[in-house]
Amino acid sequence: MSMPEPERRERERAGRSCAAPQLRADPSAKMCARGVDVYYGDKHAIKSVDLDIVSDEVTALIGPSGCGKSTFLRCFNRMNDTIPRCRVSGSITLDGEDIHAPDMDVVQLRARVGMVFQKPNPFPKSIYENVAYGPRIHGLASRRVEFDGIVERSLLRAGLWDEVKDRLGEPGTALSGGQQQRLCIARAIAVDPEVVLMDEPCSALDPIATARIEELIYELRGRYAIAIVTHNMQQAARVSQRTAFFHLGELIEYGATDEIFTNPRQQRTSDYITGRYG
């Protein structure tokens, strides 16, 4: 969708490097956000946030409801583009390339930066088709054997293969909620993304399914840079290496998960993680 005004501003900032005063430049940073602002009409939803998503690590975004975590996460693969009246400004880079640059194709960006949504949303097609869809539209495979290989590998990585290998032709929507979410993860990783964004992937699941997804995130960590939005403090502590605490659209604190949870520097962070509000 066209958003000429913010895009123009984006280009002006495109020259800015990852190095920002507040945050030490991290050589392993896969994606860097610098001075990102998001507006919904007149509402200033995200206020000048700097944040890195680091390879081989899980970055958790926590904060009370409505603080803008999901909105911010969706900036990384430009999913906010499709929301009318939503404007994004600031610089976000993927391997140093500005994702808002005119030569950055949003379709390809989303193949490199995959996404898993809050509610499991498999396509109403077969399990096989759900996983093969991404590779098919991006032309990553052409022969049936190649697709078979991708489907099997992705489902194996998503820990779903053993449960569905005999019924790949059944509709993805017929699976249980937890299985559907793992199918969505398989679908996202089938195109071999570099970054996987997860927007509260367990909030619609029961504790057992949640545990499986958490295990899965832990296993996938070595392969992709992962950013996860979660409401569940324990989950953030369990799966992530870095945590960013958001409040009212501002990034209050960002650092190693251990430090945030044991020794927060900000009063608001400590109030939130000890359950005083949220």
Partner 1 sequence: MTDPDSRARWSAPALRARLARRHAAERRFRRLGAAAIVTAMASLALLLASIVWNGHGAFRAAEIRLDIAFPEAAFDAADPRDPVAFETALARADTAALLRDALRALFPEAQSRRDVRALQALVSSGARGALRDALRADPSLLGRSASLWLPADDEVDLFLRGRIARQTPEAERRLSDLQIAWIEQLEAAQRLRRHWNTRFFTSGDSREPELAGVWGAAVGSFLTLLVALGLVFPVGVAAAIYLEEFAPRTRWTDVVEVNINNLAAVPSIVFGLLGLAVFLNTFQLPRSAPLVGGMTLALMTLPTIIITGRAAIQAVPPSIREAARGIGASPVQVVGHHVLPLAMPGILTGTIIGMARALGETAPLLMIGMVAFIVDVPSSFTDAATVLPVQIYLWADSPERAFVEKTSGAVLVLIVFLILMNATAIVLRKRFEGRT
**Binders of partner 1 in range 132-171 (CB under 8 A):** 133-134, 137-138
CB of 220 to partner 1, least distance (A): 16
What is the DSSP code (8-state) at residue 204? T
Minimum separation from the CB atom of position 121 to partner 1 (A): 4
Q: Which of 18, 75, 88, 111 binds partner 1 (CB under 8 A)?
A: 111
Q: Which stretch binds partner 1 (CB under 8 A): 4-12, 110-118, 229-237, 258-266?
A: 110-118
Q: Smallest Cα–Cα separation from 224: which of 198, 259, 256, 253?
A: 198
CB of 197 to partner 1, least distance (A): 8
112 — alpha (psi -120 to 50), left (phi > 0) or beta? alpha
Which residue stretches of 14-160 are H helix? Answer: 69-75, 106-112, 127-138, 144-157
Which token pair is 127? 């399990």
- Given 6, 122, 178, 249, the residue binding partner 1 (CB under 8 A): 122
* Whole-angstrom distance, CA of residue 234 vs CA of residue 72: 21
Minimum distance from CB of 264 to partner 1 (Å)?
A: 32
Give residues 173-192 in contact with partner 1 (rule: CB under 8 A).
184, 187-188, 191
* Binding flag, residue 109, partner 1 (CB under 8 A): yes
CA distances from 277 to 92, 256, 271, 272 (A): 31, 22, 7, 5
Q: Summarize the chain as % helix, strand, coil (round to 5).
A: 40, 25, 35
Q: Could you list the residues that contact partner 1 (CB under 8 A)?
A: 1-2, 77, 79, 82, 84, 107-111, 114-115, 117, 119, 121-125, 133-134, 137-138, 184, 187-188, 191
